[in-house]
Chains A and B, each alone.
Chain A
Amino acid sequence: MKKLILSIFLIIYSFYGFCQSSQNKIDSLKTIYTTSKISKEKAEALNNLVDQYFDKNKDSAEVYILKTLKFTEGKKGLEQIHIHSLLKYAQLFIVKGDYDTSTSYYKKSWEKLKNKYDYFLYNKYYGDLGVLNFYKGDFKAALSNFDKALQLAKKEKNEEDQLRYLNNKALAMSYLGEAEASLDVHEEAIKLAEKLNDSTALGKSFNNIGLIYEDMKEYEKALEFYLQSLKIKQNSTSKIDIANSLYNVAGMYKEIGEKNNDTLYYAKAEKHYRLAEEKAKEVNYGKVILFSKAGMAQLATVRNQPQKAIEIYKSVLDEAEKANDSQTLRVTYLNLGVNYSKLNNLVNAENYFLKALPLIIKAENPSDIASIYKNLAALYSKKHDYEKAYNYLNKQYEVEQEHSKNSLKDKISEFEIKYETEKKEKEILSQRANIAEKELHLNQKNTQIIGLVILACVVAVLGYLLYNQQKLKNQQLKKESELKEALIKIESQNKLQEQRLTISRDLHDNIGAQLTFIISSIDNLQYGFKMTNEKLTNKLSSISAFTKETIYELRDTIWAMNKSEISFEDLQVRISNFVDKANSVSKDTTFEFDLDPQITKETVFTSIQGMNIYRIIQEAVNNALKYSEAKNIQVTFQKLENKFQIRVTDDGKGFDLKTVELGNGLNNIKKRATEIGATLNIASQLGEGTTIQLEV
């Protein structure tokens, strides 16, 4: 029975890609065919119609194949379509189960095809021929053809075709007992299916894995994979695919039911066989119709309904013999043998077993070979022909020994672990990618936050700086306004002072004039009238002299006032004039005026300094003249480090500083010295003269 299942999968792959169609497309193609005047267009429309009908209606497909062949026969430029139609026709006969006719059409196709390479046609030829070989039970030839098709697909880098032929190759290898090697091919197919994101192909790979489990008689696992495959396939539009999957699932229910003697599973198996048959009938898919019948017959066998099973098998046998379907024939022969054996009809049983034996040996499936040997051993045992029974048992033992299942089981487990590990690794990688993405997001957010913080800091610093600047500006403005205020105040004070000075100047002029008038009047009195009275004359002279002195004082002050600063030269001239005058007035006294040559003429004093220095010298000289009876009076100017030293020295009688009360003159000198911040030193001793020393 396993052989039947394998065959069905091959069909799935062979027809994959030809199952999508729609009524609209068919109508459109028919319109093109009838209306077009271009041969190539017509031929292509016919060819496409064949493809459209192939999966839906085999009879219609055959009609259009024949039309295409007739239309393209011997026409230039349409050779490819002609060969394609031949290949389709050959394929149709595979579906119908007429393998001989199919073989003849493949031969015809090859005759036309062999001299001109065309990937599509070569690929189809080798692939479909492989399927035919498979159905005919020639698995070696099938493997060879699938491998050729696979190499072509690899050369053309057509991954979809590679996937299809990898699966077919794996099946053929599995059937040839190369299950371990076939697992490697399955693994390659699964990787490719995942790479292509081809869920349908993945579903088929599940099917194949299920098939291997089935071969291992691990039916629960096989059922699990078949159901997964059916789930995927139910989304597809291919009824052939669905029919095949239903058939496989039914087979597993039957096997599990048989293993556990569970009638519920038998019921499920029967239901699925019926569903598979119905689905196959919808598309006139003879192979699965036949297989489903065979399945139901086998179900009757395991349900211990041998009579019913034989009836169904006989109907299957008729059709298989007509189609020369060796695969179905050997299964049917074997099962007829089993059922006749159950009915103790040992002659018929032996007859069918012996018919099945060469076919099974030819198919080279170790488990089937072991099974037929086992059945023959049992049969001959019943017939008491123990020698034959013993021989067949021995043969069974040898075959089973050779076909060690353990290594295969390990390989499957290893493969399963490998597949699961890869899947988990992929999940881990996906999770890592997610984590990396999240980390990236987090990093981006952190960067944004840091950026914002830096921006905020910059803004804060700028704000602080601006605030400080504004504060400083305000302070400066405040100080400025204060300064302005002070300036206004001082300016007004200066104006006031200047007004006072102006008024004073006018007053001085007036007083000066009046003093002059007084002097003039006194002089007139003295000289206009002859004054005999000496006392009166002296009095007038005294007033006149005093008034003149007052005028000089006034003039000196005005002189000082009119200068913003007094140069040493000015001061020197004035003192010299004064000394000269004093010298002329007092004939008994000699005056000396000494100047330190270090003192430059550019040296300046403020007006008040200059005025007071002049007054102090004047006062000191006058005192010396009046009170000291000095013969020599010396005025000395000397430059010290940062100071000027002015000394007025006389060699008069001197006085005792402790006993003599200071008069107005000396007091005035002290007052003026204090006023200009100068140091005054008066040194005098009786009989040794006096020295007044001023340091400015």
Chain B
Amino acid sequence: MVNKTYAKLQEKIGREQFKFQRNSEKIRMLEDLHESLFNRLFKITRDIILMQKFIFETHIK
């Protein structure tokens, strides 16, 4: 009885650990993505600001 419960628990933990591993991988991917997105958004923002500056300098005088 005890062994059966114990085995079930172990099986469940195994499943949860697998799930956790997958989720961890995904989160790591997300973190990379977020880092990349942050850099890219920063660059986009910078380029837009530079572009606005250029527009102001050339067209609005």
Contacts and interface: CB of A to CB of B under 8 A. Distances in A.
Interface of A: 473, 476-477, 479-480, 483-484, 486-487, 490-491, 493-494, 497-498, 500-501, 504, 511, 518, 533, 535-536, 539-540, 542-543, 546-547, 549-550, 553-554, 557, 560-561, 564, 606-608, 611, 675
Nearest to B10: A483
B27 to A, nearest CB: 6
Nearest to A518: B44
A546 B51 contact: no
Interface residues on B, range: 35 or more
B23 A497 contact: yes
A608 B26 contact: yes
Contacts of B5: 480
18 contacts: A476-B2, A479-B6, A486-B13, A487-B9, A490-B17, A494-B19, A497-B20, A504-B30, A536-B51, A543-B44, A550-B40, A550-B41, A550-B44, A557-B30, A561-B29, A564-B22, A607-B22, A608-B28
Contacts of B13: 483, 486-487, 490
Contacts of A487: 9, 12-13, 16
B58 to A, nearest CB: 6
Contact of B37 (A486, A511, A536, A608): A511
A497 to B, nearest CB: 4
B58 A490 contact: no
Contacts of B23: 494, 497-498, 501
Contacts of B41: 511, 550
A554 B39 CA distance: 13
B44 A608 contact: no
Contacts of B34: 504
Contacts of B20: 490, 493-494, 497
B26 to A, nearest CB: 5
Contact of B9 (A480, A511, A564): A480
Contacts of A607: 22, 25-26, 29
Nearest to A491: B16
Contacts of A504: 30, 34
A425 B7 CA distance: 80
B37 to A, nearest CB: 6
Contacts of A611: 29
Given A476-B6, A480-B5, 7 more contacts: A483-B6, A487-B13, A491-B16, A493-B20, A539-B51, A546-B43, A607-B25
A540 to B, nearest CB: 7
A533 B41 CA distance: 25
A540 B2 CA distance: 69
Q: Which of B12, B24, B26, B40 has the most CB of A within 10 A?
A: B26
Contacts of B26: 497, 501, 561, 607-608
Given A476-B6, A561-B30, A550 B24 contact: no
A477 B9 contact: no
B25 A484 contact: no
Give the one of B3, B24, B29, B43 with max A CB within 10 A: B29
Contacts of B44: 518, 543, 546-547, 550
B27 A553 contact: no
Contact of B2 (A473, A493, A547): A473
B28 to A, nearest CB: 7
A54 to B, nearest CB: 96
Contact of A500 (B27, B33, B47): B27
A498 B27 CA distance: 9
A569 B45 CA distance: 37
A561 B51 CA distance: 34
B5 to A, nearest CB: 6
A557 B2 CA distance: 44
Contacts of A497: 20, 23-24, 26-27
Contacts of B9: 480, 483-484, 487
B40 A553 contact: yes
B40 A560 contact: no
B41 to A, nearest CB: 7
A491 B33 CA distance: 25
A542 B47 contact: yes
A471 to B, nearest CB: 12
B6 A480 contact: yes
B27 A501 contact: yes
A606 B50 contact: no
Given A479-B6, A511-B37, A546-B44, A539 B54 contact: yes
Contacts of B47: 539, 542-543, 546
A400 B44 CA distance: 170
Contact of B22 (A483, A491, A518, A606): A606
A253 to B, nearest CB: 101
Nearest to B12: A487
